[in-house]
Amino acid sequence: MIRRRDPRVPLAAASGLGAAAIAGVIIAGGASSVVVAVAGVVTGLFAVISLVLAATRVAPGQRRRAAAWRWLEAGSVTWLVGIGLRPVADGTPYVLTFADLLLLVSSLLLMIGCGFTAKPPPYSRGVVRQATDAFLAAASIFTVAWVWFLGPIFLEVDGATTILSTLALPVVCLLTACAVAPAVIASRSADRSVGLAGVGVLGAITVAEFATAVARLDGDTPPLAVTLVAPAAFLILAAAPWVEARPRRRPLPAVVTAVIPLLLVAVATVAVAFHAYTGGRDQVLPGLCVAIVLVLIGRLLLLLIEAAGMRRLVDVGERQLRRLAENTGDVVLLCDHDGEMREIGSSVQTTFGYRPADLVGRPLADYLHPEDVPGVQALLRRLDNDGDAMERHETCRVACRVRASDGTWRPTESVATRHLRKEDLVLVTVRDVSDQVALRNQVTHLTFHDGITGLPNRAYFEERAREVLARPNGGRTAVIFLDLDGFTGVNDSVGHASGDYLLGQAARRLRAAVRADDTLARWGGDEFAVLVGGGASSSTDAQTAIDLAERLVRAVSSEPFRVADRDMPLTASVGVAFAEDGVPAGDLLRNADVAMSRAKELGGRRVEVFAAHMHADVVRRLELAADLQRALQEKQFAVEYQPVVDLATSRVTAVEALVRWWRGSTFVPPEQFLGPAEDTGLIVPLSEWILKEACREVAGWRESSWDIGLSLNLSARQITAPRFVETVSEALAESGLPASALTLEVIEEMLVEDAEDTVAKLSELRALGVRLAIDDFGTGYASLAFLRQLPVDMIKIDPSFVSGLGRDETLTLLTRTIVRLGHDLGLIVVAEGIERPEQLELLREMGCTRGQGYLVARPMAARGVDHLMRTTLQNTA
């Protein structure tokens, strides 16, 4: 822990010394000496006390200030002891007494303390220059004083030794004051007020000692007013530490402190010349003048050496700067304020292709872009020294285009600076920023453009839509969204690289179909967007946008895309939305997307115009999906069973499990929620629950000696689920239902999409013993081919065929053909949708094996199936 000094210790010491000095004065001194001694001791004591108290405020890290206080304290204590003992020492036979030596030491201590208060400026001079300046100033002041005051007095004294010993103390005091005064005056430190007070003390001591020296030669006492100057200066020193001084922001110019000694020398020269003119002669002035001249010569030589060194440094700096500029590729040139080039670096040949000699004397304007010439000329005028001082600049920056030797315009960045030595010239540094500008443009292009198609991307399109809708005619704008039907199959069959190549082809076709003012962008994936009427003065009507949309469909569908040596026929689903007054850009883009989704749902290769109900349907489907999630958690679903009977015997052979949803007391038809469940993926957990619930019920009925099977419809999402086969196997194992009693039904479209994966998983189920059936047979695309690839057990005739039996001869013939085909392939044929007796009779006549429908039995809950089971068992018994 750092402890501050107790101010009472030095205070007590100073008081004791002061008391001893006063006692000595009273015993040995006269009245005048007593007054001076008492005044000196008291004021010196005040200074010591003030410095001691001020030292207690010094922070531990301020070493320079602490050192200044200590040296000033020591100098003040030494002076007050010396001035207090001077009346006693004056009685000795020596010209230079021990009291004078104490005063000499105090001057040196005060000088060191003042030096610590001075914070040197950036241009701080060397020790040799500072010493020569101190000597010149002190010698000049002494010369003036000798000519006007001291010379006539000291010339009457015999003996050079007496003169030198008498003047030794005041001369040393004068040297100390001159040595430290310039540094304190130029100081930027906050303690410069104390330093100035210390310099004042040294000056006052110098004046008092000169007066004392003169009085000693006359054998008289010095004037009281002169000897009291030093005590008064110590009072100022006592008050200085308590004056809050702000640090000087800018140091004084070096010329201020450098010229003062020379001015003093000039004054001394005038004084010597006047003295010589009036006939005054002595032995001191010649030697003193010779010393001053020698020091001035030495000072001049020193300045010449420093100037030569600085000139060499400047030349080296200029060469290094030029070499550095050339190595960095910058072109450095000198021109006048009219733009005429006077000198130019060799790097101009590698940067712009010109030879330097060909450019010297030519105006800059000949090589600048005409649009940039006025700005460069204005810059040169601002750097002109002859211009208005308020409008003059030291440095200016400008960006302009420079013509290279090959005729290309290069973007550049230049810095123009007024030449420091040749004020009529301007130093210009030119940097070629073509690479930076090209990179910046490339980054901007990549930020707002698609890397595959080269079209603007989604970010650009959204910003463009907001800009267009903000115009006064923005309400007459349309947005078209286009999606490539079947593009997923392209990626799966030939790879993503070939898919990207196809997207590039599609982009070129679409770009050729849109107008010049329309904005075509890749929205993402296989979706594109067109902003119709996006030009500054163009607008569009409904028919124009619809015609463009149909033209886009034709552009995609007119001919196949050639990818990986294959022809890939694709179609397009297009949605159109028209802007309305006040509609935000985000809503307009959303509407076009909704219309495109609607076109895709309706089979693709069509154009749909957005209508308000489409968005309502989308919102309704989203709400329904959320309700589905909640219903699945709260078990709001139930399973109903529709019997499948043997048409020959009317015996129930199986039941088909159907899901029902009761949202509270409201019945939700399956056609309303199965689609959203399929889209959101909730169909997978829902189908797993139906499978386990139905297997458990049917297994229970089979345990009651009722030989009955179970049929379930499979969804596309369910088949593609990762653990589909394992889920079926677990449901059978948990319920105890034999695999042969379970029949899983798929529609023909599911066999066409992802055919390889679907057939593989169905084959795994077939290997478990599960039966397979094709539902809605006759409405698909590749029924006969897949009957050969997939070992199915059953085909179910679509209700659209059964509904026409007895009324439509074509449908009757097709139904008969399907039944015969099933029999020939050894498959069980089930007719769906039997609702009239004549349908039942015709099916029996055709030899259809089984049937289901409202005429046979309606879907019923498990309790109804229990009642049906008991009735069947009783009839059998």
DSSP class of residue 633 equals H
Cβ atoms within 10 A of the Cβ of 392, count?
14
* Residues whose CB is less than 8 angstroms from the CB of residue 875 and which lie 6 or more positions away in sequence, other chains included: none
Greatest C-alpha distance within the chain: 169
pLDDT over threshold 50, residue 16: no
- β-bridge partners, 661: 637, 668
**Contact indicator for 677, 622 with CB cutoff of 8 Å:** no
C-beta separation of 100 from 89 below 8 A: yes
Residue 425 contacts residue 334 (beta carbons within 8 Å): yes
In this structure, how many other beta carbons lie within 10 angstroms of the beta carbon of residue 466?
15
- Report the run of H or E that residue 811 belongs to, with start and end: helix 809-825
Tell me if 328-438 shares its fold with 636-876. Answer: no
Q: Please state, in angstroms and rounded to a whole number, the distance separating the CA atoms of residues 676 and 322.
A: 74
Provide the β-strand partners of residue 413. 399, 431
Domains of the chain, by residue range, sit at: 8-300, 328-438, 449-610, 636-876
Q: Which residues pair with 520 in a beta bridge?
A: 530
> Which of 48, 53, 51, 47 minimizes the C-alpha distance to 7?
53
SS3 state at 489: helix
Q: Looking at this protein, which amino acid is placed at residue 271? A: A
Dist. CA 680–CA 486, nearest whole Å = 20
| Token pair for 325 | 């500029």
Residue of 251, 280, 97, 265 whose CA lies nearest to 187: 251
pLDDT exceeds cutoff 90 at 806: no
Helix (H, G, I), strand (E, B) or coil at 710: strand
The answer to whether the beta carbons of residues 518 and 536 sit under 8 Å apart is no
Question: Is 50 exceeded by the pLDDT of residue 329?
Answer: yes
Average pLDDT over residues 704-729: 89
Between 478 and 382, the more confident residue is 478
**If pLDDT is split at 50, 70 and 90, which confidence band does 8 have?**
very low
User: 661 and 631 in contact (C-beta within 8 Å)?
Assistant: yes
Tens-place pLDDT, residues 467-526: 888 877 655 789 999 999 988 888 888 888 999 999 999 999 999 999 888 999 999 999
Q: Cα angle at 779 between 774 and 784, to 5 degrees?
A: 60
Fold of 449-610: Alpha-Beta Plaits (3.30.70)
Specify the pLDDT at position 753: 62
Binning pLDDT at 50, 70 and 90, where does residue 131 land? confident
pLDDT reported for residue 402: 94
* pLDDT (tens digit per residue) in 628-648: 888 888 888 999 999 999 998
Q: Are 555 and 548 in contact (CB under 8 A)?
A: no
Return the number of other C-beta atoms located less than 10 Å from residue 253's C-beta.
Answer: 12
304-322 per-position pLDDT tens digit: 887 888 888 878 877 776 6
Side-chain-side CA neighbours of residue 285 (13 Å): 23
| Long-range contacts of the stretch 328-332 (C-beta < 8 A, 24+) | 328/431, 329/431, 329/432, 330/429, 330/430, 330/431, 331/429, 331/430, 331/431, 331/432, 332/427, 332/428, 332/429, 332/430
d(CA 233, CA 177): 13
Q: Name the pLDDT band for 255 (thresholds 50, 70, 90).
A: low
Residue-wise pLDDT for 816-836, tens only, equals 998 998 888 888 999 999 999
Mean confidence (pLDDT) of the chain: 81
What is the residue type of 304? L
| Terminal-residue alpha carbon distance, the chain | 111
Please name the fold of domain 328-438: Beta-Lactamase (3.30.450)
Domain range 636-876, CATH architecture: Alpha-Beta Barrel (3.20)
Alpha-carbon dihedral of residues 371, 375, 377, 381, nearest 10 degrees? 170
CB 419 within 8 A of CB 427: yes
pLDDT beyond 80 at 865: yes
Measured from the Cβ of residue 583, the count of other Cβ atoms closer than 10 Å reads: 16
The answer to whether residue 40 scores a pLDDT higher than 90 is no
- CA–CA gap between residue 602 and residue 581 (Å, rounded): 30
- Cα pseudo-dihedral 324, 330, 332, 335, rounded to 10: -160
What is the Cα–Cα distance from 614 to 595, expressed in whole angstroms? 7
* pLDDT for 698: 92
